[in-house]
A and B are shown apart, each in its own frame.
Chain A
């Protein structure tokens, strides 16, 4: 941080000498780059449209093989839960039950979320090491375990865009404040737990 410190001092001196009434002169210190320069970092997918999904494809069988090599230690056989994380299978239909089960199949409103997340984060021990084809294959495998694509499926950008996820319409935007309380000072109802004994 030696270099940062020097710049800070220099910047201070600059502000002191150049500042005018109403604020410092605004400097432009960014370096222009092109979208091509940023390509390796540009990994986000606009998941409702699938915009940003790359070329490539993968099958359920390929995904199962990669999963057995790189994921099973933490996620367990058939992604049913392992040493580091719970199950990634099932839960569809559980949203209206007392215990909701959250998995990529039950929870994600758009299929591309799985691609975006695995490409940026998994395997946890070596993130951003998977090829796009591998990420498609793993998407195929995990969605087939969740019954959302057939066992013989090949998954690509087009397939992901076409999957209608069960929780597609499960979301509402923030509408808080939703709880309106009054500031009672005397003879107020006593504090009660949510579940009364």
Chain B
């Protein structure tokens, strides 16, 4: 059984992108799964034929008609890819699943775009099913003329489309002081990337006529939590988009259908879904979602507030936790880098625990505030190793180590904004494990 994960990965042709260790069967599967390189090709646990010069038989699919085209359908992934799923965390288990989250299998994402069905979720009262014909957006508060827009109204404005990542402020929060996550889906899966299409909110604020004293804007959702956040007016007037589409189709219900805010480079929490109300003021609201939650503990009992930018970060996705290297040989290390402050300028990779770093190759396109792929070829000699990546962004900010972050911030408890360098250990027998602690 072959799961070719990336077209340019050379010679990797087995089920390498193993996901969670969710059952004994799964674990066996993982152990048997292997990473092969062209140079070190050996028999896979799944190859029926011996690896030596076997004669290739004409496959059954060559000898029959395939499925016919249905009159209409929404296409689905191959049944052989059914293990690629977004998953609720089982590292930090919530007591209920309405205010909860699910994580993207980023180790199984070959390009920079996250398919809509795998985009991570974070809701505070579950997913509503909103009829767009009944949905309305209101802008009011410190404006000359309060306005109401139907979805049809919004579709009439000149739209913009941009590729941008979105990351939850809580991504990686289980793994500051202890290695809790097994896979990179668990440690870094509150991260996705899409092409967002919608109307710049500045167009609508201009139409309503901002009061010159306007400084903050409330975005509020039409879901059961009426989730709301205060956003500075500058962010609204520069690049905030009211998105109705992602990746070429209307938003999925769990991603805010029919309308959501999208703020490039900022934490997902401010990108309010199911958006129904925008209120303009001269000051922030200090709601629970921006005081008791989504704030960062600091030394001396303090909390950092309104820390919305997601700073530069990267992680190796292959090989990553739960995977297995099948013997010494040449391996392609790959992963994602991103920055809420600009584009990725460089990524460095270490395979000796941080003593020596090698500049990795960036795979285009390299876009502003967008997931960027990196690759580095590694000759694994077979002993224990510790691998990690470190990104530098266009502002020359260098992704820090967790130890450096801990010198400035408090890191025990429910701590947001973890952009620390994330090491994986490789054991002598090729097992890859979380090595943050």
Contacts and interface: CB of A to CB of B under 8 A. Distances in A.
Interface of A: 1, 3-4, 7-8, 10-11, 14-15, 23-24, 26-35, 37-38, 41-48, 74, 83-85, 95-96, 98-100, 102, 104, 107-110, 113-114, 116-117, 120-121, 124, 127-128, 167, 170-195
B218 interface: yes
B77 to A, nearest CB: 23
B413 A191 contact: no
B297 A1 contact: no
B285 interface: yes
Closest 8 CB pairs of A and B: A30-B147, A95-B301, A191-B354, A120-B226, A193-B437, A96-B301, A181-B398, A174-B307
Contacts of B305: 171-174
A39 to B, nearest CB: 10
A45 B276 CA distance: 17
Contacts of B208: 30
Nearest to B96: A84
Contacts of B409: 178
Contacts of B124: 121
Nearest to A2: B133
B307 to A, nearest CB: 4
Contact of B287 (A42, A47, A181, A193): A47
Contact of A194 (B177, B218, B301, B399): B177
B406 to A, nearest CB: 5
A193 B125 contact: no
Nearest to A187: B355
A33 B146 contact: yes
Interface of B: 95-96, 98-99, 124-125, 132-133, 138-140, 145-149, 151-158, 176-177, 203-204, 207-208, 218, 220, 224-226, 228, 250, 258, 276-277, 279, 281, 283, 285-288, 291-292, 295, 297-298, 300-309, 311, 346, 348, 350, 353-357, 386, 388, 390, 392, 397-409, 411-414, 421, 423, 436-437
B401 A192 contact: yes
A185 to B, nearest CB: 5
Given A83-B95, A100-B297, A191-B388, A3 B152 contact: yes
Given A38-B146, A173-B305, A185-B357, A120 B225 contact: yes
Contact of B224 (A3, A127, A171): A127
Given A8-B155, A121-B125, A189 B354 contact: yes
Given A27-B156, A38-B140, A195-B177, A172 B298 contact: yes
B354 A190 contact: yes
Given A99-B413, A185-B356, A30 B292 contact: no
A100 B413 contact: yes
B303 A172 contact: yes
Contact of A107 (B287, B291, B300, B304): B291
A38 B291 contact: no
Nearest to B288: A117
Contacts, number: 239
Given A28-B207, A121-B124, A85 B95 contact: yes
A186 B139 contact: no
Contact of B153 (A29, A171, A183): A29
A194 B276 contact: no
**Which of A31, A43, A44 has the most B CB atoms < 10 Å from its CB?**
A44
A120 B409 CA distance: 32
Nearest to A46: B285
A11 B408 contact: no
B219 to A, nearest CB: 11
Contacts of A102: 292, 414
B353 A108 contact: no
Contact of B225 (A15, A47, A127, A188): A127
A88 B347 CA distance: 44
Contacts of B96: 74, 84-85, 124
**Which of A14, A42, A181 has the most B CB atoms < 10 Å from its CB?**
A181
Given A120-B228, A121-B226, A124-B98, A108 B158 contact: no
A137 to B, nearest CB: 19
B125 A171 contact: no
A164 to B, nearest CB: 15
A177 B311 contact: yes
Contact of B125 (A10, A29, A100, A127): A127
Contacts of B353: 190-191
A8 B250 CA distance: 12
B397 to A, nearest CB: 6
Given A120-B226, A179-B405, 10 more contacts: A7-B156, A11-B155, A30-B207, A31-B153, A48-B286, A113-B288, A171-B295, A180-B400, A183-B390, A185-B357
A32 B286 contact: no
Contacts of B283: 46, 48
Contacts of B346: 183
A107 to B, nearest CB: 4
B225 A29 contact: no
A46 B153 contact: no
Contacts of B228: 44, 120
A109 to B, nearest CB: 6
Given A121-B225, A185-B356, A191-B354, A179 B404 contact: yes
A3 B392 CA distance: 46
**Which of A48, A85, A178 has the most B CB atoms < 10 Å from its CB?**
A178
Contacts of A100: 297, 301, 413
Contacts of A174: 304-309
